[in-house]
Amino acid sequence: MMVKFFWYLLLFSLLAVWQISFAGSLPWYLREINFFIIFLVFFLEFSHDNLFWWFLFAGFIFDFYYAAPFGFFMIFLPAVFLFAKFLSLNFFTNRSLYSCWGLTFFAVIFYYFVFYGAFYAIKFSVGEPLFILEKKFWLSLLLAIILNLSVSSLVFYFFGALSDRLKPFFIVKGNK
């Protein structure tokens, strides 16, 4: 139990620092890679551990590094986790490449809409233009979807080679 606790503590600390420092310093067209979403998708495929509180911890780290209103990431990251878990439990249950793509696709869309929406709400009084009317938002979203789907496909085949728990594509009829 304690070993698991320290393992998660280290994993989430490293993942948060990696996302903040490494992903942020990549060339602009690679910055939309979201290691948290990719980690989350594969974690949901492999494990049933409840990471809700660990996402809160990661949000706490994000909050004291980033300048968003303190508490924003502590709510936002667990919300992403809950959304992805909901999809994983109810719609994408078969550990196939398509379920991995589906989870990544919807998690990225949820992440972007909630993130941009929340910042729009925070800055509503400043008269910031509605984010969905901005070309930049749609381009970033498109880039994020393409990048994260590509990275998750690579990771899927990497894990597929290591483990037989992932199915290459959709479940074949009659295959149990």
Partner 1 sequence: MKKFNFKLIAFFLATVGLLIFLHFFGVLRPLESGFQTIFNPLASFFQSGGASINLFFHDQIARGEFSEKIRDLEGHLQIAEAENASLKRLEEENSSLRQHLKFFSERKDSRYVMANVIASEAFSGVSENVGDILIDKGVKDGVYEGLVVLNGNGVVIGKIYQAGERTSRVVLTVSSRCRLAAGLQNKNHTVGLAEGNLGLTIAINFVPQAEEVKIGDNLVTSGLEPDIPAGLFIGKVSDVYRGSNEIWQKVTAEPAANLDNLIIVSVLLPR
What is the binding site for partner 1 (CB under 8 A)? 13-14, 17-18, 20-28, 30-31, 52, 56, 60-61, 63-68, 70-71, 74-75, 78, 86, 89-90, 115-116, 119-120, 128, 131, 136-137, 140
Task: Supply the minimum distance, in Å, between the C-beta of residue 52 and partner 1.
Answer: 8
Q: Give the HSE-up count for residue 42: Cα atoms under 13 Å, Cβ half-sphere.
A: 18
| Cβ(144)–Cβ(112) below 8 Å | yes
Which is nearer to partner 1, 4 or 136 (by Cβ)? 136
Task: Supply the minimum distance, in Å, between the C-beta of residue 18 and partner 1.
Answer: 6
| Cβ(55)–Cβ(96) below 8 Å | no
Task: Supply the minimum distance, in Å, between the C-beta of residue 168 and partner 1.
Answer: 28
- Rounded Cα distance between 87 and 102, Å, is 9
Which is nearer to partner 1, 98 or 138 (by Cβ)? 138
Task: Supply the minimum distance, in Å, between the C-beta of residue 78 and partner 1.
Answer: 7
Which is nearer to partner 1, 65 or 105 (by Cβ)? 65
Which is nearer to partner 1, 66 or 170 (by Cβ)? 66
List beta partners, residue 172: none
10 Å Cβ neighbour count for 107? 25
10 Å Cβ neighbour count for 73? 23
Task: Supply the minimum distance, in Å, between the C-beta of residue 72 and partner 1.
Answer: 10
Which is nearer to partner 1, 127 or 174 (by Cβ)? 127
10 Å Cβ neighbour count for 1? 5
The sign of the CA dihedral 135, 139, 140, 141 is positive
